Amino acid sequence: MAADYQMQLAPQTLDSANEKARPLLQQAQETLGFVPNMYAGMAKAPGVLDTYLHGYQLFREDSGFSAPEQEVVFLTISRLNGCDYCMSAHSMLADKVSQVPAETVQAIRDGQPIPDERLAALSDFTRVMFETRGMPTEADVKAFLAAGFEEQHVLQIVLALAVKTLSNYANHVNHPELDEAFSGHAWQG
């Protein structure tokens, strides 16, 4: 899904980026071996890309969620926001990097119940935080904690919501072409 409006500013490349965006794109090139089209679009406003990369790294390193749990959170948010690009990218990461069970990834992609109870509780609470704009009920939080999560995880989901909202919304207006690295996991909402 994308906005009717598409930004007219050209995506930023290693050659065309300004002095604020270039180091961010260089870091992506060094880390990933390519500059994702999403990053090239976000680099049109370097603060967006910088904030995204910093928050993403903090979530990955310090959230207290396992790699499969992190992908469940990111996939849930990206689906709720209708971001084809991020659903595709995180489906690939879930499959090839984070080792999320295939039936869990497919359930999220299809909007169906997740078979694993803990991952289902995580996805459900992420959805609650999204839909209530960060105002869960006491019962919502108690159910989340009863699934084995800790109170600090509530704030980590807030971080993930912020990070994914940056990328999802930027993708909606930038309309990035799906990179070849993610094409085997393409998704359309």
> What digits encode the pLDDT tens for the residues 128-157?
999 999 999 999 999 999 999 999 999 999
The structure tokens listed for 123 are 């996805």
Mean pLDDT, the chain, rounded, equals 97
Predicted local distance difference test score (pLDDT) of residue 2: 79
Amino acid identity at 4: D
How far is it, in rounded angstroms, from Cα 136 to Cα 121?
14
Tell me the pTM: 0.96
Q: What is the 3-state secondary structure (H, E, C) of the chain?
A: CCCCCCCCCCCCCCCCCCCCCHHHHHHHHHHHCCCCHHHHHHCCCHHHHHHHHHHHHHHHHHCCCCHHHHHHHHHHHHHHCCCHHHHHHHHHHHHHCCCCCHHHHHHHHHCCCCCCHHHHHHHHHHHHHHHCCCCCCHHHHHHHHHCCCCCHHHHHHHHHHHHHHHHHHHHHHHCCCCCHHHHHHCCCC
- The answer to whether the beta carbons of residues 101 and 116 sit under 8 Å apart is yes
The structure tokens listed for 34 are 């390519």
| Topology at the third CATH level for domain 65-185 | AhpD-like (1.20.1290)
Task: Centre a 10 Å sphere on the Cβ of residue 102 and count the other Cβ atoms it contains.
Answer: 10
| pLDDT higher than threshold 90 for residue 7 | no
Per-residue pLDDT tens for 69-125? 999 999 999 999 999 999 999 999 999 999 999 999 999 999 999 999 999 999 999
